[in-house]
Amino acid sequence: MNYLPNLISDWQAPLRRSNYLFTFAFFTMVALVGSASAILFIGAGIWAIVLLSTYRLRAVRDIGAIVLAVIFGLYYLSGLFNAIAHWGDRSSLFQLIERLPFLAFLPVVSRLSLSNRTSIWEAMECGAFAGIVVAVPVVLVQALQSNARPEAFSGNSSIFALAMTVLFVICCVAARRRGGRAELLFAIAASAAMMCIFVAGTRAFWPMLAIGPLISWIVVRQPQSPRILNWKIVALLLVSLAIVAIAASEKIGKRVDLISQELSDVDSGFGASSLNNRLAMWNCAIDISSRHFLAGAGVDGARRAMKECAAADDWQWQALSHFHNFALDGLATGGIVELAARLALLIGPLMIIVRTQGRAKNTAPAGGPLSVQAVLVILTFTLSGVFGIFVGHDIADALYLYCIICLYCIARMDPQNEAESRIVKS
């Protein structure tokens, strides 16, 4: 697949060149220094709003982009409803600031969609490849020097694992859709990411280590890829798994042993294990939501109730900030309104992206690989939400938003000449 003409065309236009560099930099840094990517996204949103407000750029008017902007806007309004319903709850008020990046969806889409869709995908995949390469040495050093779970410079091992899993599934799809030598390179990157995810120890993402390659291998077709190369990739993945098993056997073994121990301790009472703590938190969230069904108890109110549940049932509270399940946490803090907004964040983008690429006249560069990429990315965030959070953290918010923006811009019907017409000439 020849990317050079599209890259040259985009590189000659300043806005498109900055789009490519921004996308590459975002995915390069998101696992290693996630907060830097979050700051980059906020800066991109502010600059896109400036371009729109000074009439240097026209907003996209696609129905899909508008629907997605409404979905993200409703998520912000859910936070506003929560702040009003629990006036004086400082954390609920702070959500109004935390959720501001979701209002930048349409401006950033308008800016990014100026670029050729192939250029966007190229920057996304190459950034993911580079992000894995720069993160691996840091993770190895942290794993060898400490018994703690590696987190690079993200400040949270679970958020690091989330970002690395997203880069992993991007590389899985990239390996299959590109073929040739690139298939081997991206498979190597995916294998390295697999090692980082295992060592990070966040078990919620381990299913993606099988689901990502399996779905990519079965669904994404690459007839130009020689059969011998495919066998090389299979051998590479097997060797990588063996190396990971040997190098990180102690850390992985402890996490695996914890699974069996926690399952056997489920009936022993709350507080005996991490799983029992989660069950206790979930029961507490259900109790709170049954008493505050419409608007929840507010963020601070839910945390106080969690502390009271911990004291009453004798389980480890550890000053937790959420209920380790996006649905129950939404019900406890914001009621049915917040839960509906969070479900829309997961379901809406996938439906819009698949529908948009299905209606595109030229689906050859996207088609199946794009749908697979969207499913795998959103499934990763769903697994994160089932056992933790998928939004509500600056790095997770920025990563989710920009993944959806990139995938939508790749899927949308926006020929290059139409994109050029939206740049307002001075």
Which residue type sits at 46?
I
Instruction: State the pLDDT at residue 360.
Output: 59
In the chain, count H helices and then E strands.
18, 0
CA gap 281, 355 in Å, rounded? 37
Distances in Å between the alpha carbon of 119 and those of 16, 18, 114? 9, 12, 10
Does residue 362 carry a pLDDT above 50?
Answer: no
In terms of pLDDT, which residue wins out, 334 or 148? Answer: 334
For residues 161 and 184, which has the higher predicted lDDT (pLDDT)? 161
As a dihedral over the C-alpha atoms of residue 368, residue 173, residue 62, residue 420, rounded to 10 degrees, the angle is -110
Q: What is the predicted pLDDT for the residue at 420? A: 41
pLDDT of 39 strictly over 50 = yes
| Per-residue pLDDT tens over the stretch 139-149 | 888 887 776 77
CA–CA distance, 85 with 244 (Å, rounded to integer)? 50
- Cα(81)–Cα(79) distance, rounded to whole angstroms? 5
**Which of residues 389 and 72 earns the better pLDDT score?**
72
CB of 160 closer than 8 Å to CB of 148: no
- Per-residue pLDDT at 26: 97
pLDDT at 364: 44
Give mean pLDDT, residues 353-369: 67
- CA dihedral in degrees (118, 124, 129, 135; nearest 10)? 170
Indicate whether 202 pLDDT > 50.
Answer: yes
Average pLDDT for 356-382: 77
Q: Are 89 and 301 in contact (CB under 8 A)?
A: yes
Least confident among 141-145, 222-226, 237-241, 400-404: 222-226
pLDDT at 252: 56
Tell me the mean pLDDT in the region 157-162.
92
**Residue 98's pLDDT is what?**
93
pTM of the model: 0.86
Q: Which of 105-109, 223-227, 352-356, 373-377 has the least mean pLDDT?
A: 223-227
Q: Is the pLDDT of residue 390 over 50?
A: yes
| pLDDT band at residue 116 using 50, 70 and 90 as cut-offs | confident
Query: Over pLDDT 90: what percentage of the chain?
Result: 42
Between residues 283 and 8, the one the model is more confident about? 283
Q: What is residue 249's predicted lDDT score, i.e. its pLDDT?
A: 55
Average pLDDT taken over every residue of the chain:
81
255 pLDDT exceeds 80?
no
Higher pLDDT, 133 or 320: 133
The answer to whether the CB of 248 falls within 8 A of the CB of 199 is yes
pLDDT of residue 425: 44
**Low-confidence winner among 67-81, 219-233, 255-269 (lowest mean pLDDT):** 255-269
**Least confident span in 5-19, 24-38, 41-55:** 5-19
> What does 336-353 look like in DSSP terms, one character per residue?
HHHHHHHHHHHHHHHHHH
Beta-bridge partners for 423:
57
SS3 57: strand
- pLDDT higher for 330 or 317? 330
Could you give the percent of the chain with pLDDT greater than 70?
76
| Rounded Cα–Cα distance for residues 166 and 406 (Å) | 13
Q: Where are the beta strands (DSSP E) in 184-341?
A: none
Both tokens of residue 41? 């996204």
- Mean pLDDT highest for which of 179-193, 323-337, 364-378? 323-337
The pLDDT, as a whole number, for residue 103 is 95
Q: What is the pLDDT of residue 421?
A: 40
